[in-house]
Each structure stands twice: as C-alpha cells, then as structure tokens.
Amino acid sequence: MDLYYLLKIACYPGKKGMAISVYEGGEELMKTKYMLWILVVIFTAVSCSIQPANDGPTGELTHIRLPMGYIPNVQYAPFYAAVEKGFFEEYGIELEFDYSYETDGVALVGANELQFSLVSGEQVPIARAQGLPIVYVMAWYEKYPIAVLSKTEQNVKTPQDLAGKRVALPGPFGANYVGLRALLGEVGLQESDIIMESVGFNQVEVLATDTTEVIVGYSANEPIQLKAQGYDLDLILVSDYLDLVSNGIITNEKTLAEDPELVERFVSAALKGIQFAVENPEEAFRFCFKYIEGLEDADQDVQFEVLQASMELYQTDPYGYSHPEAWENMQGVLLQMGLMKKEIDLEEAYTNEFSQ
Amino acid sequence: MKDFGVGIRKIGFLVLSILAGLFLWHMFTTFSQIPSFIFPKPIEVWDRLIIVLQDGSLMKHALITLQEVLFGLMLGLSAAIITGYFLAKSRIVERVLSPYIVASQSIPIVAIAPLLVIWLGPGIFSKILTSALIVFFPVLVNTVVGLKSVPRELYDLMRSLQANTWQRIIKLEIPAAMPVFLGGLRIGATLSVIGAVVGEFVGADKGLGFLVNVGRGLYDTALVFVAVFTIVLLSLGLYGSVLFIENRLLSWQKRNGD
C-alpha cells in the first residue's frame, strides 16, 4: 500500500487546481519526486534481493517447499529432525514445510510447480494413470500403514469377520479406502459384503461413541489414541496380509532428468533424518515441539507412542528402498478397484537409485 | 410481440456469452499448454460429462444432493419463519435469542460440519442439517425485516375491521412481508446447495460434493469440473424457481405498479 502510494505520487503529473503542481513550477515538489523515485528504486531492489527463490539456489541453498499431506504431526519427526540437525542445509537445501492436501502436492509436483512431495504409495500409480509425470524416489514407510480396528466386543479378529459389519472410513478414496479394499480382496470379500460409512476424518470419535462397529485408520495413530482413552481394541494390519507400496517422496520426470543431483541431495538429507530419528527417538520427539502447535498441552506419552509406532513402519532395508512386488501388488489392487483403468509401466513410476 | 423479441435477444446474448467463454477457455488451455490435470480443455470436460451421464452416476449423485438441498431448504425455511415471526413480534424473544443467532452466524459451517457427522452419523441427515443451518440466517433476517416493515396504519385498519389473528396474518402480514421474505429466500436457496455440498465434502459416499472429492482423489480434474458445473446448475435452477414463485406471488405488486 505504501509502495503504491509512493508510486502514485511519483508518477502523478499534477492536476490543474492542485495547491502545488509541477506545471506551476513547484521546485520543492520536483525535488520530492526525484527523492521518491530514488526511494522506489532502492525499495524495489531490496525487495527483489530478499525474496526467496522457489526453484533455484539462494546463495548456496536451494529452497524446497515440501507438501506433507497432513497437519503438523509427530510422525514427521524425521523431517523436523533433519532440518534441526542441519542435514538439509548440509546438502544445500533450505526446507519449508507445507501442510496442504496430499492430492494438491501430487498435482503441483506433476505440473513441475514443486520438485518434491510426501505422498502415500497408491497416489503414484493413480496419478501416473492420469498422465501426471511423477516418480517415486524414496520409500519412507516400508509397511502399508493402514489398519482396521474395532472394540474387542465386536469380535473382529480376521478380515473375514468384517462381513456384515459397519465399517467407517474418511471416504471411498485415499490410503484408508485402498487398504480396506486390499484387505477385503485378500480374503475374497467384496465392498458389498460390508456396510461402508463415510465419516470424514472422525474415525476415533465414531468408534468411541459406537456410531459404527469398525474403523479404518493409520496403525500408528488411531489405535494409540483410542487405547489411551481406555478402549480394548482388536487390530488387523493390512501389511500382515499384503505387501503394498507405502508413503514416500515423489519428484517429477523433469527434475529427475535435468537435476538428478538435487534429487540425490534431497533424498540423502531425508534418509539421514529418518536414520537419526530411529536411533534417537527422544531427541527427534523434542524437535517436534517447535513445529507442532499445542504439542506441549497434548498427552506427551501418547504422542511419543505415536512416533514410536510410526518408526516401526519406516525401517526399510536398505533405507529408501521400495519393493518391486509391493508396486505390482498395489497396481493389481488399484486395477481391481477400478481406480485405474489401464496398467502403467511401473519401471517409470519409481526408482531405487537413491536408496542407501 | 415486442416482449417476444426482447426475450429472443436476451437468449441470444446468453448463448453468445457462453460461446465466447468456452472459446476463451479453449484458447487459454490450448496455448498455455497447461496439463489436463491442472486445467482441462472444454472438450475433455464435455467427454467426461457424456461418460457420467451415460453410466448414470452424475444423475445419481445430483439427485442425492438435490434431495438434501430440498429437505435442508424446507427445514431451514420452517425454522427461520417460525423464529422470525416470534422475533418480530416479541421484544423479549428478540432480546433473548438475538445474541445466540448473531453469534451462530460467525461460526464457519466447515468447522461444525464434521461435528454434525459425529453427532448425527454419516447419513443424509447431517447434510440436510448443514444445508438448513446455512439457509436459516438470511431467511430469518428477511422475515423479521419484512414483518417489521408492515405499516402501523394497516394494523389499525385490520383492527377497525375486527380481523382476528389468523386473518391478520393471512390478509396483512404475509402479503406485506412477502417481497422482503422472497429476497431472503433467493439467497437462502443458493446457499442451501453450498451447505449440502460442504456436508458431503466432510463425509459422504454420495452426492456432488463427494463426486468432487472423487475427482480430486483420482486427479480427474475434468470430473471435478463436471461436478462443479452441475452444482452451479442446481443453484441456478433453485434461484430460477424462487424467481418464478416470486413473479407469481408478487404479480399483484406489478399490477398495482402498472
């Protein structure tokens, strides 16, 4: 607004009838105008010099905005730790966290507006089938993190026990839905064999209030929260029945082809963060306080348990590696579900080139 | 004959405006080379529309949303008219309820929609209530304003004619408040669609809001466009219906004006 005002004054040629006008020989005003022009030039130069670059190095650091796909959460401790321990800086990267929707992150990377995003595994084949040129370059979770859980009185011990049950999940999309359908498919059940209820991200509440009988959620989140509230639960892990490609880092074909060194730097820093968090969970947890508002007031034990449960999911061997069978399985599930109309070339969808 | 000519010209301008919009859209998406998953071309949206029309999925989801909207509108209208009448008639009721009503309007509907799913379950009722809540306020305000704008002399006249309460409501208050009330209904009808769609966004497996979610989840932006255009059509249809009702109910005003 101030700049606009300055520009307006500096550019305005003066009007007849104004108290002082350049046309009326206002020398003082002329001087003021020159001063203002100089100020504008200095202001613009300074503004340009302090603006962070989004797609190139700023000094020695490359600014990267990373869509995380979810709100600030302790599960992101490895990334917080990697920043706080200076791993990203060490690899010449200045990291900015972006907590927008997962699908937005995928679309932005696909359009080469951003270079990287954190996504769940099923998004890669789905997006590639729609023509998004994204490539999965680093596995973060080894096991697919989705679980089906119910109060013990429901007696849902195996996937077969889901038949006829009311099963709540955010909606028929995303990792929860894919995980549920994969689990049902493994034991020969159809979606029509259960009563599926779309409740948004309110699974904990609807199970606690008995609005539903079974819920689908992240094994490192909902079960721990519910157990902390004193509920006895039965848990069925999708990963116990089927190996599916899980959460990881994507980039796009352009970045991979034109700047593989950036991908390598980014993945190396992220993997270093994961390794650090696995080896130093307490310290990694402490870094979360800076990034997660309200964590001080939350139940610390529960939150630390969420982090530890997450860590069990992401101990890939070697770090960053995704299994070809997991990709084949994922594609099979998605084709069977109708979320993909045709097969894609999985060789183009991921690479283990950067795993350690 | 003159009216017919004006009508034809209006339609002509509308068609031209739509064609120009489609042309600009086509040129923009073609020459900017924006990928389809970011901004699809009109022809891609058209192709997607044909597919969802042929497999019946668009109609199925649109009917669900329409059902939620109509029930939401009925519920919101009834609550607003009844509350509005008492607010207009009783200063005590107005003083007691006004703070709550005004405060309730500062709550974003997207913030309470998830709670409604928890309280009322994932079925259709939570969407009806979201729709009703968003309809309530504009209709309420216009009901109160409409009733309060009835001239005092007309009440005196009704009293001198020894009209009972029912006659006063039917013969005086409803006709007098109708123009302002219908203004509120026009806003409410459009908002009711937004309310239902917000409810579907939060947790649903049916409806146009759900279809938008599916489109986003599958990076099928053409499907998102189809769903959004259908939502717009639904809103326009409701708005047009209210205008039609308004023209019929207020024809006496026009006649008097002539």
Instruction: Report pLDDT digits (tens) over B181-222.
Output: 999 999 999 999 999 999 998 888 899 999 999 898 888 999
The answer to whether residue A88 sits within a structural domain is: yes
Provide, as residue numbers in chain B, all residues whose Cβ is less than 8 Å from the Cβ of A181: none
The stretch A209-223 carries a mean pLDDT of: 92
A319: pLDDT confidence band, cut at 50, 70 and 90?
confident
A157 lies in the same domain as A197: yes
Q: In what order do the strands lie in the sheet with A134-139?
A: A117-119, A248-252, A134-139
A39 lies in the same domain as A86: no
pLDDT at A56 over 60: no
Which residue of B38, B213, B216 is in closest CB contact with A111? B38
What is the extent of the structural domain holding A321? 57-141+245-349
Signed CA dihedral, A185, A187, A192, A196: sign only: negative
pLDDT at A288 over 60: yes
A62 lies in the same domain as A32: no
The answer to whether residue A220 sits within a structural domain is: yes
Provide, as residue numbers in chain A, all residues whose Cβ is less than 8 Å from the Cβ of B204: 171, 198
The answer to whether residue A256 sits within a structural domain is: yes
The stretch B8-34 carries a mean pLDDT of: 90
Residue-by-residue DSSP string for A61-101? EEEEEEEEESSS-GGGHHHHHHHHTTHHHHTTEEEEEEEEE
At A291 the pLDDT is 95
Asked if the Cβ–Cβ distance from A199 to B219 is below 8 Å, we say no
Asked if the Cβ–Cβ distance from B35 to A111 is below 8 Å, we say yes
User: What are the residue boundaries of the structural domains of chain B, listed by start?
Assistant: 1-33, 40-257
At A11 the pLDDT is 39
Phi-psi region of B255 (alpha: psi -120 to 50; beta: other; left: phi over 0): alpha
pLDDT at A312 over 60: yes
The Cβ of residue A331 has, within 10 Å, a number of other Cβ atoms equal to: 23
A333 lies in the same domain as A251: yes
Between the alpha carbon of residue B51 and those of residues A320, B48, B58, the distances in Å are 40, 5, 9
The stretch A90-97 carries a mean pLDDT of: 96
Asked if the Cβ–Cβ distance from B117 to A199 is below 8 Å, we say yes
A171: pLDDT confidence band, cut at 50, 70 and 90?
confident
- Asked if residue B213 lies in contact with residue B182, where contact means CB atoms within 8 angstroms, the answer is no
What average pLDDT does the structure give for chain A? 85
pLDDT at A106 over 70: yes
A54: pLDDT confidence band, cut at 50, 70 and 90?
very low
pLDDT at B15 over 50: yes
Instruction: Report pLDDT digits (tens) over A80-91.
Output: 999 999 999 999
Which residue of B35, B213, B218 is in closest CB contact with A171? B213
Please state which CATH number belongs to domain B40-257: 1.10.3720.10
At A31 the pLDDT is 54
Which residue of A111, A174, A202 is in closest CB contact with B203? A202
Strands A195-198 and A166-169, by their bridges, are parallel
Nearest in space to B81 (alpha carbons), one of B6, B8, B136: B136
Q: What is the largest CA-CA distance in chain B?
A: 75
pLDDT at A36 over 60: no
Nearest in space to A109 (alpha carbons), one of A82, A81, A137, A88: A137
Phi first, then psi: give them for residue B31, nearest 5 degrees: -85, -25
Instruction: Report pLDDT digits (tens) over B216-249.
Output: 888 899 999 999 999 999 999 999 999 999 888 8
Give the integer Cα–Cα distance in Å for A74 and A68. Answer: 12
- Planar angle of CA A96, A201, B103, nearest 5 degrees: 90
Give the integer Cα–Cα distance in Å for B99 and A116. Answer: 48
Considering chain A, what percentage of its residues have pLDDT values greater than 90? Answer: 67
Which residue of A173, A200, A339 is in closest CB contact with B114? A200
For A49-68, give one letter per residue: b (16+ CB within 10 A) or e: eeeeeeeeeeeebbbbbbbb
The stretch A24-36 carries a mean pLDDT of: 50
Q: Which residue of B has its CA nearest to A338?
A: B218
Asked if the Cβ–Cβ distance from B219 to A171 is below 8 Å, we say no
Q: How far is CA A197 from the centre of its chain?
A: 25
A37: pLDDT confidence band, cut at 50, 70 and 90?
low
The stretch B126-135 carries a mean pLDDT of: 94
Weakest-pLDDT range from A120-124, A200-204, A345-349, B188-192: A200-204
The answer to whether residue A229 sits within a structural domain is: yes
Between the alpha carbon of residue A263 and those of residues A89, A116, A135, the distances in Å are 14, 9, 11
B68: pLDDT confidence band, cut at 50, 70 and 90?
very high
Strand partners, A96: A65
Instruction: Indicate if ipTM > 0.95.
Output: no
A34: pLDDT confidence band, cut at 50, 70 and 90?
low
Give the integer Cα–Cα distance in Å for B180 and B218. Answer: 44
A255 lies in the same domain as A137: yes
What does DSSP assign to residue A212? S
Asked if the Cβ–Cβ distance from A339 to B218 is below 8 Å, we say yes
A102 lies in the same domain as A83: yes
A257 lies in the same domain as A313: yes
**In this structure, what token pair is assigned to residue A28?**
């003082």
B119: pLDDT confidence band, cut at 50, 70 and 90?
confident
At B37 the pLDDT is 87
The stretch B94-117 carries a mean pLDDT of: 87
Q: How far is CA B111 from the centre of its chain?
A: 20
Instruction: Report pLDDT digits (tens) over A247-279.
Output: 999 999 999 999 999 999 999 999 999 999 999
Give the integer Cα–Cα distance in Å for A328 and A322. Answer: 11
The answer to whether residue A100 sits within a structural domain is: yes
A307 lies in the same domain as A340: yes
- Say which CATH number the domain at A297 has: 3.40.190.10
The Cβ of residue A131 has, within 10 Å, a number of other Cβ atoms equal to: 11
Please check whether residue A206 touches B, CB under 8 A. Answer: yes
* SS3 label, residue A57: strand
Provide, as residue numbers in chain A, all residues whose Cβ is less than 8 Å from the Cβ of B37: 107, 110-111, 127, 130-132
Which residue of B34, B203, B210 is in closest CB contact with A199? B203
A215 lies in the same domain as A342: no
Q: Which residue of B has its CA nearest to A130?
A: B219
Give this prediction's pTM. Answer: 0.77
A331 lies in the same domain as A252: yes
The answer to whether residue A215 sits within a structural domain is: yes
Total domains present in chain A? 3
At B218 the pLDDT is 87
A210 lies in the same domain as A336: no
Strands A134-139 and A248-252, by their bridges, are antiparallel
A7: pLDDT confidence band, cut at 50, 70 and 90?
very low
Residues with Cβ < 8 Å from A354, sequence gap 6 or more?
Answer: A137, A138, A263, A264, A267, A268, A320
A135 lies in the same domain as A262: yes
- Asked if residue B127 lies in contact with residue B200, where contact means CB atoms within 8 angstroms, the answer is yes
